[in-house]
A and B are shown apart, each in its own frame.
Chain A
Amino acid sequence: NAGVTQTPKFQVLKTGQSMTLQCAQDMNHEYMSWYRQDPGMGLRLIHYSVGAGITDQGEVPNGYNVSRSTTEDFPLRLLSAAPSQTSVYFCASSYSRGLGEKLFFGSGTQLSVL
């Protein structure tokens, strides 16, 4: 059972480049989300989706774009990478958006923007 799969695990970009972080889950989860982890800060929500075709902004959405064309996939796009986007990114999903539904996390993507 794969769970939540994130690719790539590591990425180095130059300022201004664009790229897509991939996230896929095979648990038929309705809710999917993207977080970034920075030193000294908690996981901060970038974007989330409560179902196919529905996305919304989290706490730190600027510079990122998402789409949810299928239940399984929730890619995160960096439109024009900036050094401030150097971070570790986690995708997480849950069965539904209910308060009692625990999150399942992917293995993370370490991104460096030079």
Chain B
Amino acid sequence: ILNVEQSPQSLHVQEGDSTNFTCSFPSSNFYALHWYRWETAKSPEALFVMTLNGDEKKKGRISATLNTKEGYSYLYIKGSQPEDSATYLCAPPAGNQFYFGTGTSLTVIP
């Protein structure tokens, strides 16, 4: 079992605030990382797939970076909106398996 940690566990921010989360993983085991967004009563949906050390991805106000050498990834949300409220999961794949973190639950207060 490979340990994937996400922090913080939960976060409440005001609308318009910018925020970021961290995903940490054993650097010797993982060389790629996926971020998924999971809204309440829905299924997880892929946000970003990063497969190279130093990869940076952006979709609108959300961006992510990957450092496989030191074993971390950051997810940034600029100018949070209520519709950003969700749980954000990171999942580095190794072999044929994905190892999901427990997620960061974001609540954006209007």
Contact = CB atoms under 8 A, between A and B. Distances in A.
A63 to B, nearest CB: 17
A101 B98 CA distance: 11
A58 B100 CA distance: 12
Contacts of B42: 107
Contact of B100 (A42, A101, A104): A42
B19 interface: no
Nearest to A50: B96
A40 interface: yes
Interface residues of B, number: 24
Contacts of B7: none
Interface in B86-110: 89, 91, 93, 96-103
Contacts of A58: 97
A58 B91 CA distance: 15
Contacts of B32: 99-100
Interface in B4-51: 4, 31-32, 34, 36, 42-46, 49, 51
Chain B contact surface mostly: loop
A48 B45 CA distance: 19
B34 A42 contact: no
B60 to A, nearest CB: 17
Nearest to A105: B43
A45 interface: yes
Contact of B96 (A41, A44, A56, A104): A56
Interface of B: 1, 4, 31-32, 34, 36, 42-46, 49, 51, 89, 91, 93, 96-103
